Amino acid sequence: MAKNTVAQFELESWTEADLSLKKVAECQLALDTIEAEMNMKINDAKAEAKKLAEPLQLVIEDQKKLIQDYVEGHKAELEGKSKQLTFGRVGFRQSTSVTVPTKKIPRIIENLRKFGMENCIKVTESVNKDVLATYESKDIVKIGASVKTVDRFFCEPDKEKVR
């Protein structure tokens, strides 16, 4: 388990605090540079991989299309819905999907209720903390929630002044 590093000394003035902020900004700038270089290398690697993969993906698509055309033309020869070949299996899988037109959702929900199919209606309830925070503390406590207020330290080094 890694140990947290603790400052070797204590700051004794605002000037020292300001210099510490400068050091934080310098480190953040160095981290920004490292991250930018890393992202450029990652993007280059992704572009290279895409370039190398593209011809292979085209061959795969072309071969799958040829296989599909052949199998559809010889569907009667399948053993059931598929056929085992030396290098794999080909066939057809039944796939079903339900389409719910966005414009008709209110009417469909009404019909689901009408025909006793309420289990098909998705209802999500949760507490909106942002709205709850607009109420007075006594009202928030009254409903069983709580309000916690803390002063959180921050330091915002000015990187532009360090550059």
- Residue 103 and residue 38 share a domain: no
| Mean pLDDT of the chain, nearest integer | 92
Same domain, residue pair 85 and 105: no
Same domain, 117 and 82: no
Query: Do the Cβ atoms of 147 and 137 come closer than 8 Å?
Result: yes
How many domains is the chain partitioned into structurally? 2
Tell me: the pLDDT tens digits for 3-35?
A: 566 557 899 999 999 999 999 999 999 999 999
User: Would you place residue 52 in the very low, low, confident or very high pLDDT band (cuts 50, 70, 90)?
Assistant: very high
Whether residues 64 and 113 share a domain: the answer is no
Smallest Cα–Cα separation from 21: which of 158, 160, 163, 138? 158
Spatial separation of the C-alpha atoms in residues 41 and 156, rounded to whole Å: 29
Average pLDDT over residues 63-69: 96
Question: What are residue 84's DSSP bridge partners?
Answer: 89
Q: In this structure, which amino acid lies at residue 99?
A: T
Mean pLDDT of 133-151: 92
Dist CA 12 CA 161 (whole Å) = 23
**Residue pair 140/132 in contact by the 8 Å Cβ criterion:** yes
Judge whether 19 lies within some domain. Answer: yes
Between CA 163 and CA 31 the distance in angstroms is 13
Each residue of 74-98: pLDDT tens digit? 999 998 899 999 999 999 999 999 9
Q: What are phi and psi of 85, to 5 degrees?
A: -115, 180
d(CA 47, CA 39): 12
Same domain, yes or no: 116 and 85: no
- Name the pTM for this structure: 0.56
Share of the chain above pLDDT 90, in %: 79
Whether 81 and 139 share a structural domain = no
Domain coverage including residue 104:
98-145
pLDDT category at 53 given cuts 50, 70, 90 is: very high
